[in-house]
Amino acid sequence: MGGKILLANIDIPGIRGFDVYRANGGYVSVEKALREMTPAQVGAEVTRSGLRGRGGAGFPTGLKWSFLDRKSDKPRYLVCNADESEPGTFKDRYLMHHLPHLLIEGLIISSYALGVNTCYIYIRGEFKYLVGILEKAIKEAHLNGFLGNRLLGTDFSLNIFAHPGAGAYICGEETALLESLEGKRGNPRIKPPFPAFKGLYGCPTVVNNVETLATVAPIISMGGEAYSKMGKGKSTGTKLISACGNINNPGVYEIELGLPVEEFIYAPEYCGGIANDKYLKAVIPGGSSVPILPADLILNTSKGERRLISYESLAEGDFETGSMLGSGGFIVYDEDACIVRNTWNLTHFYRHESCGQCSPCREGTGWMEKILYRIEHGKGRMQDIDLLVRVAKNIEGHTICPLGDAAAWPVASAIRHFRKEFEYHVEHPEEVKDIHHGSLKIETRSLMPESQTGIKYW
């Protein structure tokens, strides 16, 4: 299992502490960047690597950095997005828990490249214990001369602080995060202006995900060119995928982008197949906000090609028959999962987490939840299904931040691919009255035994 760069050292006992981390090649990339490279060269190396944002949107990191307003005489900030609240996503927590120094290493190099002297790690409040782990690691880095004034004898100075949130999914959205970091409610800002010009305290700011920033360290060690050779096409390098749901081995896996989805689901070194020998029914491949795909479409694209875990392949077929890589929260559903119930559950989440600024999102998520609840509990009407599609359409694209879209896509895609199940709920109210009902065993094209795909890896 080659190709691990982030988690390569994760099994070394004590790797969370500075000494062991350093003894295993830690902070060498910081020395290389600060001693041998100019900030511009570091930025160029990141651009060359093809690294794309791991927080969800997949925006090229080098390009994002190049937008930072360097003409302004205000201080610049780097903010690390460790809000990780997207259902199905738990990779950043894993990374910070086991390898806090890897993140700090990435933060130092990134700050150097961006000309930043203060960096905040915004951690979701529920990860209180991680605040302690990170603060300890920051202190160790300070004591060893990797943080503070005039690092390694250069004239570059840097402080990093951990900052806890307090329970709000919306604070993962970068402008809401900045508001929250300023001590306010997490209401997303209207863009433009973008954070690159007016971010934290109105100063030029870069917001990046934990995994994105941690990856900068190995990129500098191995060189952007070498990193870009890993992966497939424009999806370079490796990605952490957090896999959960009805699989044998839930957990966080570092994969080289371009791994076939089928191998990821069934190979023993990854998910290890569907739990209890059931069939695969559906997958949400990138955190709950991206469209759900039925088994046949997650394993193969509509063109009949094998679906790979990469930005391009997962999006193949757009929203008709595709989905997105998103944050890498891979949620697997077996044949017993009730799609209607699951859609209602997720809509409840978005209704609860909407900040309430825009009416399409605030009202729309509420309506969708109510209608879905009705259908799920055997009180739905046939026209409700199209009503849902209409409400979802009216949210999508009409809001300040993408949470509106994130709420609309799961509903629209569930109906697109599992309409029969919604209809069945309406037609058989008696059968679905029990809230613990499982799958209705109706024929959907999604129940696809692995043998039908004709590919074997394991």
Partner 1 sequence: MEYDNKINHPQFIRNGKPVAFTPEVMKTVQTLIGRYPEGQQKSALLPILHIAQEELGGYLSVDIMDYVASLLGIQPIEVYEVATFYSMFYLDKMGKYVIEVCRTGPCAISGGDKIMEHLQEVLEIKPGETTHDGVFSLKEVECLGSCGTGPVMQVNTEFYEKLTPAKVDHLIEELREFATKDKPRDTKWVEKFC
Ligand X SMILES: Cc1cc2nc3c(=O)[nH]c(=O)nc-3n(C[C@H](O)[C@H](O)[C@H](O)COP(=O)(O)O)c2cc1C
Q: What are the residues binding ligand SF4 (CB under 6 A)? A: 170, 188, 354-358, 361-362, 399-401, 403-404
Choose between 90 and 227: whose C-beta lies nearer to partner 1: 90
When asked if residue 257 is in the footprint of ligand X (CB under 6 A), the reply is no
Query: Which among ligand SF4, ligand X, partner 1, none contacts residue 208 (Cβ within 5 to 8 A by kind)?
Result: ligand X
Q: How many residues does the chain have?
A: 458
Question: Segment contacting partner 1 (CB under 8 A): 58-66, 106-114, 178-186, 231-239?
Answer: 178-186
Query: Which among ligand X, ligand SF4, partner 1, none contacts residue 257 (Cβ within 5 to 8 A by kind)?
Result: none
Choose between 33 and 346: whose C-beta lies nearer to partner 1: 346
Query: Which among ligand X, ligand SF4, partner 1, none contacts residue 70 (Cβ within 5 to 8 A by kind)?
Result: none
Cα 320 to Cα 310: distance, rounded to the nearest angstrom: 18
- Which amino acid, one-letter code, is at 127? F
Choose between 108 and 324: whose C-beta lies nearer to ligand SF4: 324
Residue 449: CB atoms within 10 A of its CB come to: 10
Cα 284 to Cα 337: distance, rounded to the nearest angstrom: 13
Number of continuous H segments (helices) and E segments (strands) in the chain: 19, 13
Cα 206 to Cα 183: distance, rounded to the nearest angstrom: 18
- Taking CB under 8 A as the criterion, the residue among 185, 191, 370, 456 binding partner 1 is 185
DSSP state of 15: T
Q: Which residues pair with 241 in a beta bridge?
A: 253
Contacts of 371 (CB under 8 A, 6+ apart): 380, 384, 387, 388, 391
Supply 232's token pair.
């497939």
Q: Is 149 exposed, middle or buried (0-12, 13-18, 19+ CB in 10 A)?
A: exposed
Q: Identify whether the C-beta of residue 155 lies closer than 8 Å to the C-beta of residue 39.
A: no
Question: Segment contacting partner 1 (CB under 8 A): 165-173, 207-215, 293-301, 419-427?
Answer: 165-173
Question: Segment contacting partner 1 (CB under 8 A): 11-19, 32-40, 104-112, 174-182?
Answer: 174-182
- Taking CB under 6 A as the criterion, the residue among 83, 105, 384, 396 binding ligand X is 83
Supply 394's token pair.
């009216």
When asked if residue 207 is in the footprint of ligand X (CB under 6 A), the reply is yes
Q: Identify whether the C-beta of residue 281 lies closer than 8 Å to the C-beta of residue 295.
A: yes
Nearest to 124 by CA among 163, 78, 174, 87: 163
Query: Which among partner 1, ligand X, ligand SF4, none contacts residue 324 (Cβ within 5 to 8 A by kind)?
Result: none
Lateral strand order in the sheet of 118-123: 159-164, 118-123, 77-82, 205-209
Choose between 121 and 297: whose C-beta lies nearer to ligand X: 121
Q: How far is CA 203 from CA 68, 149, 193, in A?
A: 10, 22, 11
Q: How far is CA 424 from the centre of its chain?
A: 33
- Which amino acid, one-letter code, is at 388? L
Smallest gap from Cβ 359 to ligand SF4, in A, equals 8
- Taking CB under 6 A as the criterion, the residue among 45, 84, 369, 384 binding ligand X is 84
Smallest gap from Cβ 155 to ligand SF4, in A, equals 41
Question: Segment contacting ligand X (CB under 6 A): 33-41, 208-216, 318-326, 446-454?
Answer: 208-216
When asked if residue 205 is in the footprint of ligand X (CB under 6 A), the reply is no
When asked if residue 88 is in the footprint of partner 1 (CB under 8 A), the reply is yes
Smallest gap from Cβ 187 to ligand X, in A, equals 12
**Contact residues: ligand X, CB under 6 A:** 53-57, 59, 64, 81, 83-86, 170, 172-174, 207-209, 212, 401-403, 406
**Contact residues: partner 1, CB under 8 A:** 75, 84-90, 92-93, 118, 124-129, 131-132, 135-136, 138-139, 159, 161-169, 180-186, 201, 242-246, 250-252, 288, 329, 331, 333, 337, 342, 345-346, 348-349, 352-353, 435-436
